[in-house]
Amino acid sequence: MVGYAWIVPALPLAAYILTVFAGRRLGERAAYFGVVALGIATVLGVTILIQAAGGARAHVSVPWLQIGPYSVPMGFTIDPLSAVMLGMVPLVAWMIEIYSMGYMHKDPEFNRFYCNVNLFVTAMLVAVIADNFLLFLMAWEIMGLCSYLLIGHWYKDPGNARAATKAFLVTRIGDVGLMAGIWWIFSVTHTFQFDQLAPALHAAALAPAVLTAIVLLVFMGPLGKSAQLPLHIWLPDAMAGPTPVSALIHAATMVAVGVYLVARTYPIFQLAPSALVWVGYIGAITAFMAATIACVQTDIKKVLAYSTVSQLGYMMLGMGVAGSMAAGMFHLITHAFFKGLLFLGAGSIIHAVETQEMHKMGGLFRKLKATSITFLIASLALAGIPPFSGYFSKDPILAAAYNSPYPIMFWLGLLGAFLTAYYMTRACLLTFFGKPRDQHTYDHAHESPAVMTVPLWVMAVPAALLGLFVSGGFGGFLSPGYTPADGGAGATVLTLSFPLLGVLVGALIYGSGRTEFRVAAIRALKPLYVFLKQKWYFDQLGLALMYIVLGVAWIAAAFDRYVVDGIVNGLGALAGLLGRAGRVLADGSAQAYMLTLLLAVAVGLIALQLIGG
């Protein structure tokens, strides 16, 4: 089966094409194209994963382009890394497409939504199995396009339109860095093939500083796509898209593909150890920073969005300190399930109460049983409470940071873990427990239909149990000889107790309906509160940068209009003279024109003879 892995992305592609051409006639039934295709893709994907676990491998490549001495083939590769993704991506995408049949029901652009999602899944799967940088980059950018289109799904709202543009533009900044890295590598190795990059770069014996520069350029791609500091600013705004999109693209798959790229090119990262330290620091700082911001968000999707930024930071931290990509990859997989589930749960809540403001919710547990239970499971996984999956994937990352020579990374990660547990406790308590704060919305709340709740339960199984059952074998499968880091008793006590502490603090503050303490705390910590509310001022920084660029653009345009053009027009008398000559031409006498030309040629010839021909 592994040799036919190209069928997996071909299925959603077929669904995309069918939806484009038959969608209008079928109405909402067109969703079945995608649902059926992804159902089959899931079976194939899981089959390939099982076979790969049994030792099967594949690498298929066909010639695509020949430019002079350089040949650029296209192909796919099935190894443990891509197989793991094939086990996860189609399943998550399948659940989200089923869920969307309920969530997007009666949306006037229902089919456009399914078109874009199917195209997205195609691109995602191509990126996962691509055997070379060029194909990967193409799929990566198509994903960006779909993300842009889906963030702007309800484009009539100017805010959504701005969010879509921002997402594309900010990730584009990372992408040009990635492209420069690819060109630099190609100029050394003459290949885009992933498996040949590290040996060829190693053989080229480049200076360490050059290697670091190359690797950091490549890392700019993940910086944008996986929303790492300082290019994270697009992801929270991306919540403007429909919630299933947030679950699929902006939590489970696309944003994680930056981490996947680091894993895919891990051999070249290992050639530049100082670049890996950068990766670790950026990951740790992002994990901490985003977690602090999540603590003050009141929009449930924004909490989850900053949480995603934070968790992607943990994955990068894992890449940086674990000495293997397996730790970060395991967190990627577990996160895909529990964060995807959290977003789907949030969607179910929003579906029920028609608001995203947690302060208007409360007491929803009684009304939304299935949603609440699955959301709580995913929250426990995210908070890193054993035996849920998040614990098994986050703990080795923190342990590796503990063992690394960079204690700051560990402490940032640990504080982040505390904050993660705290803000999820806060979110769950505000949403599901206590007294309803808005009686009207509470009265109208109703559990979502089965088409939405069944996917929640399906996602809840791996979110809860994946760590317990596969954490032992996962690392060794992905990178032979790897064992998850063990920080010893000291680290274990810390990594276990900080999340529990976070839950406790969250429960103390938000457990009762009384708000006096919260108000007092906000007043006491006003500057910090404002700083967090303003998201560390990164958005303002980005806007300032944009206005500077626009200012320069304005100056360039004015320069062009008044200086360059001004000089041309300013040859005043001459222009007037030619203007009169022009009128002769406009009368239609082409002879005059030809005469002018001949005259000019004659002058030129004479000049030529004079200067010494």
> How far is Cα 59 from Cα 20, in angstroms, rounded to an integer?
32
The residue count for binding another protein (CB under 8 A) is: 64
Is the CB of 396 or the CB of 542 nearer to another protein?
Answer: 542
- The single-letter code of the amino acid at 246 is S
Of 94, 184, 266, 330, which one interacts with another protein (CB under 8 A)? 184
Establish if 584 lies at the interface with another protein (CB under 8 A).
Answer: no
Q: Minimum CB separation from another protein for residue 100, in Å?
A: 21
Is the CB of 6 or the CB of 411 nearer to another protein?
Answer: 6
DSSP 131: -
Is the CB of 136 or the CB of 433 nearer to another protein?
Answer: 136
> How far is Cα 103 from Cα 211, in angstroms, rounded to an integer?
47
Place of tokens 């995913």: 378
Contact 114, 97 (CB under 8 A): yes
Contact 430, 510 (CB under 8 A): yes
Is the CB of 24 or the CB of 533 nearer to another protein?
Answer: 24
Q: Mask of contacts with another protein, 492-531, x by CB under 8 A?
A: ----------------------------------------
Establish if 383 lies at the interface with another protein (CB under 8 A).
Answer: no
**Roughly what angle, to the nearest 10 degrees, separates helices 7-26 and 110-129?**
170
Establish if 180 lies at the interface with another protein (CB under 8 A).
Answer: yes
Of 544, 550, 592, 595, which one interacts with another protein (CB under 8 A)? 550
| Alpha helices in 480-525, H assignment, sequence order | 488-510, 516-524
Establish if 443 lies at the interface with another protein (CB under 8 A).
Answer: no
Is the CB of 21 or the CB of 183 nearer to another protein?
Answer: 183
Residue 132 bridge partners (DSSP): 193
Contact 59, 78 (CB under 8 A): yes
> How far is Cα 300 from Cα 246, in angstroms, rounded to an integer?
12
Residue 59 bridge partners (DSSP): 77
CB burial of 118-134 (b: ≥16 within 10 Å; e: otherwise) equals bbbbbbbbbbbbbbbbb
Is the CB of 461 or the CB of 556 nearer to another protein?
Answer: 556
Of 488, 554, 562, 589, which one interacts with another protein (CB under 8 A)? 554
> How far is Cα 201 from Cα 50, in angstroms, rounded to an integer?
33
Establish if 209 lies at the interface with another protein (CB under 8 A).
Answer: no
Is the CB of 489 or the CB of 586 nearer to another protein?
Answer: 586
Is the CB of 521 or the CB of 557 nearer to another protein?
Answer: 557
Which of 270, 287, 275 has the alpha carbon at shortest distance from 331?
A: 287
Is the CB of 158 or the CB of 405 nearer to another protein?
Answer: 158
Question: Considering only 28-36, 133-141, 195-203, 410-418, which stretch makes contact with another protein by CB under 8 A?
Answer: 133-141
Q: Minimum CB separation from another protein for residue 547, in Å?
A: 12
Establish if 156 lies at the interface with another protein (CB under 8 A).
Answer: yes
Q: Is 346 exposed, middle or buried (0-12, 13-18, 19+ CB in 10 A)?
A: buried
Residue 200 in tokens: 């060829």
Establish if 549 lies at the interface with another protein (CB under 8 A).
Answer: yes
Strand 70-78 and strand 58-67: the pairing is: antiparallel
DSSP 138: H
Cβ-based neighbour number of residue 454 at 10 Å: 16
Q: Minimum CB separation from another protein for residue 142, in Å?
A: 6
Is the CB of 80 or the CB of 177 nearer to another protein?
Answer: 177
Q: Minimum CB separation from another protein for residue 276, in Å?
A: 23
User: CA 180, 181, 187, 191 torsion: positive or negative?
Assistant: negative
Is the CB of 26 or the CB of 161 nearer to another protein?
Answer: 161
**Roughly what angle, to the nearest 10 degrees, separates helices 369-383 and 407-432?**
170
Phi, psi of 197 (to 5 degrees): -65, -55
Residue 79: half-sphere exposure toward Cβ, Cα within 13 Å: 13
Is the CB of 162 or the CB of 202 nearer to another protein?
Answer: 162
Of 91, 115, 129, 164, which one interacts with another protein (CB under 8 A)? 164
Question: Considering only 30-38, 184-192, 344-352, 527-535, which stretch makes contact with another protein by CB under 8 A?
Answer: 184-192
Cis-peptide, bond into residue 63, ω within 30° of zero: no
Of 557, 562, 570, 576, which one interacts with another protein (CB under 8 A)? 557
Of 44, 128, 137, 215, which one interacts with another protein (CB under 8 A)? 137
Q: Is 606 exposed, middle or buried (0-12, 13-18, 19+ CB in 10 A)?
A: exposed
Which of 390, 208, 367, 209 has the alpha carbon at shortest distance from 307?
A: 390
Of 4, 70, 469, 537, which one interacts with another protein (CB under 8 A)? 70
Residue 221 in tokens: 């791609």
Q: Minimum CB separation from another protein for residue 265, in Å?
A: 17
Of 54, 69, 481, 490, which one interacts with another protein (CB under 8 A)? 69
Is the CB of 369 or the CB of 561 nearer to another protein?
Answer: 561
Question: Considering only 159-167, 332-340, 483-491, 529-537, which stretch makes contact with another protein by CB under 8 A?
Answer: 159-167
Residues that bind another protein (CB under 8 A): 64-70, 134, 137-138, 141-142, 145, 152, 155-158, 160-162, 164-165, 168-169, 172-173, 176-177, 179-180, 182-184, 186-187, 549-550, 552-554, 556-558, 560, 564-565, 568, 578-579, 582, 585-586, 590, 593, 596-597, 600-601, 604-605, 607-608, 613
